[in-house]
Amino acid sequence: SNLAKNLKVKINSTMVDVSTTEQTYVESVIETEVDTVLEGVEIKDGWVDQEKRVHYSLAVVKRSLAASTIQDKVSKIESVLKRNLNEGTEAENRVEVINALSHYLSGYQKAPTLTPLKSAIHVITGSRENSGSQDISEGEFESRIKGIVHNLNLATVSGDRQIVKNQKGVAKPLVAKVYLLKEGNQTPVSNIPVLFNYEIGQGELEKKKTSGSDGIVQTTIHRISSYEDSNHVIEVKLDYSWIRSNFNGDVVEKLLSPLKNKRAAFNYIVQTPKLASNKSQAWRESITDLSNQLISNIPAGKNPFLGVMLFKDLRYDRVTPFSRVLNEDIKTILARAEDLKLKELKINGGQQPEEIAKANGLDYYVVGSYRMERTGLEIRARLINTETKTIQSSGNKRIERKELNPEDLALIDTMAKDFKSAQKKKSYQEQLEKLVAAKPSKSSFKVETWTDKKDYEINEKIVFYVKSDKNGYLTMLDVGPKGDITVIFPNKFHRDNFVRAGVTYQVPSPNYGFEFDVQGPAGLERIKAIVTLNKVSLLKLDLDKGFHSVQRETTRGSRTIQALSTQVDSVESTAWAEAYSEIFIFRKGERYIRGSRKIPIIEIPEKPKDMIGTFGNEQDKN
């Protein structure tokens, strides 16, 4: 009993205070736990119930002192709640959403402690009077929080509903706005992180962004990697995880969780042309490889405009219906290249390729030809620098007949009758390309030609090498980037063009007494070596100046190249062989890494997909 007399009184569950007057009975009960120790309590007596083994104490409360202590706590909490409400309101007026939520949530979590304390005062004093200040309830803070959560939204600004025609990505950025709806107006909200993600489709984009002072967030799609769906959807949503991480307490999740669903969506339509499903995988791979050869020498870090001219059938020296099929397939593949802008060409009748390129503002353009042989289709192409008129790169590919689409093959074969009577005189460049592409159908031996390296700068030293595995007579041509030809063997210093089997010859030879310097212009230089088993005069050579040359865009040059091509055609296929190699010439000090651009090979889908969009058909300029 003495121990019970020394206990302090703590109100922590239910306290019943009973006071009676005549004909009146009043009972007040505090149902909520009050975590406080009453000051001014005096323990008057204590006793033990031996049967129940319970200690009892009689506590007498000094009402004024106990009430004063609790009232001090109430005043402090009310002051904090008032500050939370005022600072939250000010932050909300400044549209500082996270700051406002922080104050409101703090008040929301403190407010529940106020009610039981005020109830305790009422029990102790018997009075319901307060200090005169207006109660700030938990509900007031909850209402403010829900107001912000409800009115905080996202909306698209620009970049929606774009049409995509290449693999690089969407032309315009995707722009959205984070705003707080206040009195019907969209007030921008800054410093709110958002997440951009693909909902339908796949691609590379900048995912995490933070709103600026104008509430704007934007991202850029750098590359599209999925073409299975024609309509891609990208959603932008509030970064809820980041917002949630700013606040503590389990109750926060209940109030803020609606922010998870605040989002806006961008749609874009994919109209990148696709190879028809009836094209073989070998055809796809061949056209992709040809395209990669063509773009390999374009400097990285630029976004040049590129156009594709209609290829000619070398058998008839003109554009055919198959030319358009080939043109569309090449453009379909080139459209997937990164950092290239493929342009549809506007052609006026009679324009030459270089005129078309200038009129359409092209940096480079592709020209080429094809020829159906017994073994398959041979395609040759060149990438021309519009400004310098030089060959930037070349590509060639032979595709077996069995890999051609039956409709395309029939188109090639049936067109032969229609164009046999349409032969016309070939230009210098056309004769040159025919010569460069020339190969015997059944050669009985092999020739090789090479240089020390594949890349040179102007004024660097260069040596050409050639070897034949049979005795024969060598004519070695160096075709410059603009199409001019230098016959580097035979020459003034080695007039006899006989070469022995298995012997490697170099030009210039050490006994020439001089070295070759690369002269330029910059671009692709091609070497063609032709060896005949019999002594055949392919060219009438003028070696007085050291090396015979053939100039393009001259009457003599055109006659010479035509005669040379005719002579090569006249040699029996088993009696000659050829070799071909390339070097690339850079301007001095302007070397860059070639081959950095690469178009991936797209596998045939399991289920054929209909072609989505096509490039327009150009007019036949013939």
**Helices first, then strands: H and E counts in the chain:** 13, 35
Q: What is the pLDDT of residue 289?
A: 92
Cβ distance 108 to 143 under 8 Å? Answer: no
Four-residue CA torsion sign, 374, 445, 434, 596 = positive
What is the CATH class of 281-586? alpha beta
- pLDDT, residue 169, reads 65
Cα 284 from Cα 289, distance rounded (Å): 9
Task: Report pLDDT digits (tens) over 376-423.
Answer: 899 999 999 999 999 999 999 999 888 888 888 877 776 555 555 445
Give residue-wise pLDDT tens across range 426-448. Answer: 778 888 888 888 888 888 999 99
Q: What is the pLDDT of residues 452-490, one digit of tens each?
A: 999 999 999 999 999 999 999 999 999 999 999 999 999
Q: What's the pLDDT at 501? A: 96
Q: What pLDDT, on a 0 to 100 scale, did the predictor assign at position 601?
A: 66
User: Which superfamily does CATH assign the domain made up of 150-270 to?
Assistant: Immunoglobulins (2.60.40.10)
Strand partners, 313: 318, 370
Place of tokens 């055809």: 283
84-98, 187-201, 508-522 — which is least confidently predicted? 508-522
Which has more confidence, 608 or 477? Answer: 477
Give me the pLDDT at residue 422, please.
47
Please state whether beta strands 391-400 and 376-385 pair in parallel, antiparallel, or not at all (unpaired): antiparallel
Closest CA to 444 of 538, 531, 373: 531
pLDDT of 615 > 80? The answer is no
The candidate with the shortest Cα–Cα distance to 277, out of 606, 621, 619, is: 606
Q: Is the pLDDT of residue 160 over 60?
A: yes
End-to-end CA distance of the chain: 121
Cα–Cα distance measured from residue 431 to residue 378, given in angstroms and rounded to the nearest whole number: 16
For residue 250 the two structure tokens come to 């389990």
Per-residue model confidence (pLDDT) at position 243 = 95
Q: State how far the Cα of 176 lies from the Cα of 182, in Å rounded to an integer.
A: 18
CA distance linking residue 100 with residue 145, whole number of Å: 8
Is pLDDT at 367 greater than 60 in this prediction?
yes
- CA proximity to 219, closest of 231, 204, 201: 204
Which region among 449-458, 535-544, 570-579 has the lowest average model confidence (pLDDT)?
535-544
pLDDT of res. 25? 39
The single residue listed with the structure tokens 């019943």 is: 16
CA distance 142 to 82: 14
Confidence label for 592 from pLDDT (cuts 50, 70 and 90): confident
Residues 12, 107: Cα–Cα separation, whole Å? 23
DSSP annotation of 318 reads B
Could you check whether the bond before residue 481 is cis, i.e. omega within 30 degrees of 0?
no
Nearest alpha carbon to residue 495 among 531, 571, 546: 546
Q: What is the CA radius of gyration of the chain?
A: 44
- For residue 236, pLDDT over 50 is answered with yes
Segment 120-147 mean pLDDT: 77
- DSSP-derived letter for residue 87 is H
Question: What are the tokens at 257?
Answer: 């969780």
More confident: 396 or 116: 396
How many residues are present in the chain?
622
Other C-beta atoms within 10 Å of 159: how many? 21
Listed by start position, the domains of the chain span 1-136, 150-270, 281-586
CB atoms closer than 10 angstroms to residue 376: 17
Pick from 47-56, 77-86, 196-205, 373-382: least confident? 47-56
Among residues 585, 514, 570, 511, the alpha carbon closest in space to that of 538 is found at 570
Q: What share of the chain is helix, strand, coil (3-state, %, to 5)?
A: 30, 30, 40
Q: Please report the pLDDT score of residue 27 as a whole number.
A: 41
Residue 499 near residue 473, CB atoms below 8 Å: yes
Averaged pLDDT, 611-620: 37
Give how far Cα 231 sits from Cα of 199, 360, 420, Å.
11, 30, 47
The more confident residue out of 606 and 168 is 168
Q: Cβ(199)–Cβ(235) under 8 Å?
A: yes
- For 235-284, give the DSSP string: EEEE-HHHHHTT--STHHHHHHGGGGG-EEEEEEEE------TTS-HHHH
The C-alpha atoms of residue 590 and residue 394 are separated, in whole angstroms, by 20
